[in-house]
Structure 1
């Protein structure tokens, strides 16, 4: 789920940073550039782990900032296909579920990856597309709700190209999408996939 990715980057260091020790200044600038950003095929940057080397410091003609060549490691979130991850329900509609890990919200479970048999019950508000999915298991129905801790299997991780234009009604652009599955395939009972959290008294 988490990886170290070694990156080499030419980094112009803004003059206000020059009052700081060089390693601290570069670390702060790297965090500003990469933290919480998605790098295609590498994943979501969680943290700057360390700085391996700093070279250069050249000031190019017409530029007031020194440029360094920096080699560093980033901690990246990049789930692999087949991995089982624990998440929580963020929302549900007729298209399926959206899950969250707290720091990453673009996890989708489409209807064909929900456990069968199932049924969807729309919310009372008619204009809303939201509702609750129910899974029928051993003659009982289990609602998939936000009080559950949900284990899902990663089916796909994709990095969509940045659209030139987006319709106003469309969802916000997500640079990394994770498609998951709740179809247990005989791996365990309902309690394995859905664990209701019980607060300590």
Structure 2
């Protein structure tokens, strides 16, 4: 789930940070540039782990800031296919479920990865939002509604990095630079009942 990635980057240090010790100033600028950003094929940057080396400090003509060549390690979040993670429900719509693991909210369970038999009941006011139900048996009370208090264990199916759109319609969902698609496993918190589905 978490990896160390070694990066080499040419860094221009802003003059406002020059009062700090050089290592602290470079670390601060690296955090500003990379923290909470997605790097394609590496994942989401969670933290700057350490600085391996820094060279340079040259000030080029017409520029008032020193430039360094910095080699450093980043802690990256990148789940692997087959990994099982626990998340909380963020939203439920006709296309499936959207989950969060606290620091990352772009986890989707599409309808074809949900357990069968299932059904979707839209809200009265908004047909795009509603509640999913898992009908696991023939009895009267053999239906689980998927609520916002539930924990959902899911198995990662794929991680993708879609290309950044040039234009995005106003009605569309916010752009997510890293998408995790998964297959769900369900855990209801209240009664501690585990149901693992295949």
Residue range with higher mean Cα deviation, 104-113 or 135-144: 135-144
Aligned counterpart, 2:105: 105
Deviations 1:108-162 (CA, angstroms, capped at 9, x unpaired):
100000011100011121x341111011113311111111111001011000111
1:195 Cα offset (Å)? 3.1
1:33-82 C-alpha deviation (Å, 9 max, x unpaired): 00000000000000001111111101111111100011110010000011
Q: TM-score, length-normalised on structure 1?
A: 0.91
Where do 1:131-146 residues align within 5 Å? 131-139=130-138, 140-146=142-148
Query: Could you tell me how far apart the structure 1 residues matched to 2:29 and 2:38 are?
Result: 17
Distance 1:153 1:177 in 2: 14
Between the aligned partners of 2:26 and 2:190, the Cα distance in structure 1 is 42
Where structure 2 has 5 or more consecutive residues not aligned to the other structure, the ranges are: 192-198
- Helix, strand or coil for the counterpart of 1:180? strand
Pairwise mapping of residues 178-197 of structure 1 onto structure 2 (< 5 A)?
A: 178-182=180-184, 193-196=186-189
- Residue in structure 2 matched with residue 168 of structure 1 by the alignment: 170
Aligned pairs, how many?
188
Aligned residue in 1 for 2:64: 64
Tell me the distance in 2 between the aligned counterparts of 1:8 and 1:104.
25
- Is 1:117 paired with 2:114? no
Report the CA distance between 1:197 and its aligned residue: 5.0
Structure 2: distance between partners of 1:129 and 1:138 = 27
Q: What secondary structure, in the 3-state scheme, does the structure 2 residue paired with 1:11 have?
A: strand
What value does the CA root-mean-square deviation take over the aligned residues? 1.1
Is the contact between residue 149 and residue 197 of structure 1 (CA under 8 Å) also seen in structure 2?
Answer: no
Partner residue, 1:3 = 3
Q: CA deviation at 1:16?
A: 1.2
- Alignment-derived partner of residue 194 in structure 2: none
Match of 1:188 in 2: none
The answer (yes or no) to whether the contact 1:45–1:77 under 8 Å persists in 2 is yes
